[in-house]
């Protein structure tokens, strides 16, 4: 019997998944968590086989942080990311955090059940679209060679936001211009700063200057 811990900040989603999965094909839902902190606490108490983990949880630890911590504390527990984010950046970060699988919330329930069984057995599971993206990224890195510039490790969105930040635009201004949320801008900023090993805005501007990213459009 697979012991499953469901982690999602929406109670309706948790209860719906619990009703769908409890007792289905050898799956027992042993607990529900509303954020990453609760997931880690319940994992210690319940020692589930699999943690079904949402990524975006505004309160407490987010899914990626919780996944990384769970893998450090309890590497025998498999984490299956269940998310609405069909985005290569989230996929790569989930894999780096130690997740055993990545599946979208709009996937058929049969696929979700198969994914749970897959990661519970010690295998990895990725949606077909995620597998294609991961392979494309790997092939791209192989072609680039070991001498690839660290700048090339940034996603296209991260490169775009790097240029905006270096030009002095605020997170709010960037969000409005790109039609995304401020929280998303902040997340991209944090990721790119970490990848580039930068801590301050002056360092970022110096890096952007070297890359020729400070050319303003004539408007």
Look at residue 78 in the predicted model and tell me its pLDDT. 95
pLDDT digits over 119-148, tens only? 999 888 887 666 655 655 554 555 444 434
pLDDT for the residue 163: 86
pLDDT value, residue 207: 80
119 alpha carbon, distance to own chain's centre: 17
For residue 157, pLDDT over 70 is answered with yes
**DSSP structure class, residue 76:** T
The 10s digit of each residue's pLDDT in 13-28 is 999 999 988 777 789 9
Q: Which two tokens stand for residue 61?
A: 């630890």
Two tokens, residue 212: 């020729």
pLDDT in tens, 66-93: 999 999 999 999 999 999 888 777 888 8
Q: Do residues 71 and 98 lie in contact, with contact meaning Cβ atoms separated by under 8 Å?
A: yes
95 vs 130, higher pLDDT: 95
CB atoms within 10 A of CB 179: 6
| Residue range 161-219, pLDDT digits in tens | 888 887 778 889 999 999 999 999 989 888 888 888 887 766 777 787 777 776 544 44
Q: Are the CB atoms for 97 and 64 separated by under 8 Å? A: yes
Cα(73)–Cα(161) distance, rounded to whole angstroms?
Answer: 34
SS3 of residue 3 by DSSP: strand
The predicted pLDDT at position 124 comes to 86
**Which residue segments constitute the domains of the chain, with CATH numbers given?**
2-133 (3.40.50.2300), 150-210 (1.10.10.10)
pLDDT at 146: 40
Non-local (6+) Cβ contacts of 78 within 8 A are 49, 50, 51, 100, 101, 119, 120, 122
């Amino acid at each position: 019997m697979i012991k499953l811990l469901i982690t999602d900040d929406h109670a309706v989603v948790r209860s719906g998944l619990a009703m769908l999965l409890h007792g289905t094909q050898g799956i027992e839902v042993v607990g529900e968590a509303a954020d990453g902190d609760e997931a880690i606490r319940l994992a210690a108490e319940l020692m589930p086989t699999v943690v079904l983990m949402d990524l975006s949880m505004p309160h407490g630890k987010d899914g990626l942080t919780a996944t990384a911590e769970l893998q450090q504390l309890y590497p025998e527990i498999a984490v299956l990311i269940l998310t609405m984010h069909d985005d290569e950046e989230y996929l790569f970060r989930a894999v780096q955090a130690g997740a055993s699988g990545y599946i979208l919330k709009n996937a058929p329930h049969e696929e979700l059940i198969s994914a749970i069984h897959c990661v519970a057995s010690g295998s990895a599971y990725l949606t077909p679209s995620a597998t294609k993206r991961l392979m494309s990224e790997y092939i791209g890195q192989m072609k680039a060679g070991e001498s690839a510039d660290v700048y090339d490790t940034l996603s296209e969105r991260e490169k775009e936001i790097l240029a905006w930040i270096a030009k002095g635009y605020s997170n709010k201004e960037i969000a409005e211009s790109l039609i995304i949320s401020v929280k998303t801008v902040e997340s991209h900023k944090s990721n790119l700063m970490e990848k580039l090993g930068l801590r301050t805005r002056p360092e970022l501007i110096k890096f952007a200057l070297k890359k020729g990213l400070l050319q303003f459009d004539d408007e």
